[in-house]
Amino acid sequence: MIRFVRGHLASADAEGVVVGMGGMGFHVRVSDTTRAELPAVGGEVVLQTHLVVREDALDLYGFGDDRERRLFEALLGANGVGPRMALAICGLGTPEALAIAIGNGDAAYLTKASGVGRKTAERVILELRDRVGVAAGAGSGPALPVTPRSAARDGLVALGFASDEVDAALARAVGDLDEEALVRHGLATLGR
């Protein structure tokens, strides 16, 4: 997987940017948040990336820092949120501001993103509140803490289970279990 690209900013348009390096140009889709931080055309740029592989395309999404990339990946785990919608949500503000909005259940803030309606915003909040939410006034702590439960959830979703089924299965886990034990519990509960 391509985890970052470093080169010169060859061009920028509404679809994304082109990063030139090694005689090649890589088209990278970026959020409005990242776009605002980019240098002028010709300047050096480093973007953390996430590669989305589809039947008919390979799309590279780029972010100004790892926090935004992790938020994007968390958003992809929500039902009904594809890469373009996740990128639009990331473009609303900093990862910390988005984590606070999710933590506070601020659906109106999320609906400002292109293509995000009220129901989708509420679903994102419901599915991601425990994983990315930071309560207002809690300071600027890490926006996306990785816990054994969130890591197990990500692993089970990656295995093809629906996120709502995984959440229900993990909710039945009792005690202070590590990631491996939570995955085993999830697999047993989900029938694999």
Closest CA to 59 of 31, 26, 32, 91: 26
Mean pLDDT on 88-105: 91
pLDDT tens digit sequence for 119-170? 999 999 998 987 775 544 444 444 455 577 777 877 787 777 887 788 888 8
Q: What residue has token string 């992809």?
A: 76
Percent of the chain with pLDDT over 90: 49
**Domain 66-132 = CATH 3.40.50.1170:** no
Closest CA to 89 of 62, 70, 114: 114
The pLDDT of residue 162: 80
Most confident of 30-44, 127-141, 174-188: 30-44
> What's the CA gap between 169 and 186, in Å, rounded?
6
Mean pLDDT on 51-67: 91
Class of residue 177 by CB neighbours under 10 A (exposed 0-12, middle 13-18, buried 19+): middle
Residues 41, 12 contacting (CB under 8 angstroms): yes
Class of residue 156 by CB neighbours under 10 A (exposed 0-12, middle 13-18, buried 19+): buried
User: Is it the case that residue 52 has pLDDT exceeding 70?
Assistant: yes
Average predicted confidence (pLDDT) for the chain: 86
3 state SS for 36-104: HHCCCCCCEEEEEEEEEECCCCEEEEEECCHHHHHHHHHHHCCCCCCHHHHHHHHCCCCHHHHHHHHHC
Supply 63's token pair: 């972010």
Per domain, the residue ranges of the chain are 4-63, 66-132, 148-190
Its pTM surpasses 0.75: no
pLDDT tens digit sequence for 2-16? 889 999 999 999 889
User: Is it the case that residue 96 has pLDDT exceeding 70?
Assistant: yes
Give the number of other CB atoms < 10 A from CB of residue 11.
Answer: 13
Beta bridge partners of 11: 18
Residues 19, 9 contacting (CB under 8 angstroms): yes
The pLDDT of residue 113: 94
The pLDDT of residue 14: 86
Mean pLDDT on 69-88: 92
CATH architecture under which domain 4-63 falls: Beta Barrel (2.40)
